[in-house]
Amino acid sequence: MFLLEELLREYNTVSIVGMAKNAGKTTALNYLIEEAVDEGIVLGVTSTGRDGESTDLVTGTEKPKVFLDAGMLVSVPAQLYELADAGLEILRMTEYGSSIGQIMICRVAHSGYVQIAGPVANASHEKLCREMLDLGAELVLIDGAIDRKSIAAPGTSDAVILSTGAVLSRSMKKVIGETAHTVGLYRLPCLADGAAKDAITGNLNQERLLVVSGGCARILEADTGLGAGRFLDGQIDENTECIYVPGAFTQSTVADINPKKLRNITFVLKDPTKIFIDPVSWGRLKKAGLTVNVLENIEVAAITVNPYAPGGYAFEHEALLNGMQEAIPDIPVIDVML
Report domain extents, the chain.
2-186+299-335, 195-294
HSE-CB at 149 with a 13 A cutoff on CA atoms is 11
Buried b (16+ CB within 10 A) or exposed e, 242-266: bbbbbebbbebbbeebeeebbeebb
For residue 140, count CB atoms less than 10 angstroms from its CB and return exposed for 0-12, middle for 13-18, buried for 19 or more: buried
Full-model pTM: 0.90
* Distance of alpha carbon 208 from alpha carbon 282, whole angstroms: 24
**Is 195-294 assigned to CATH 3.40.50.300?**
no
- Taking the alpha carbons at both ends of the chain, their separation in whole angstroms is 14
User: pLDDT tens track of the chain, all 338 residues?
Assistant: 478 988 999 999 999 999 988 888 989 999 999 999 999 999 999 988 665 454 454 445 455 789 999 999 999 998 888 889 999 999 999 998 877 888 999 999 999 999 998 887 778 888 999 999 999 999 999 998 655 566 778 878 999 999 999 999 999 999 999 999 999 999 999 999 999 999 999 999 989 999 999 999 999 988 899 999 999 999 999 999 999 999 999 999 999 999 999 999 999 999 999 999 999 999 999 999 999 999 999 999 999 999 999 888 999 999 999 999 999 999 999 998 77
Per CATH, domain 2-186+299-335 is 3.40.1390.20: no
Q: Please check whether residue 85 is in contact with residue 48, taking contact to mean a CB–CB distance below 8 angstroms.
A: no
Beta strands in the chain (DSSP E): 13-18, 43-47, 50-51, 67-68, 73-77, 87-93, 103-110, 112-113, 116-117, 139-143, 159-165, 210-213, 216-219, 240-245, 266-269, 292-294, 300-306, 333-335
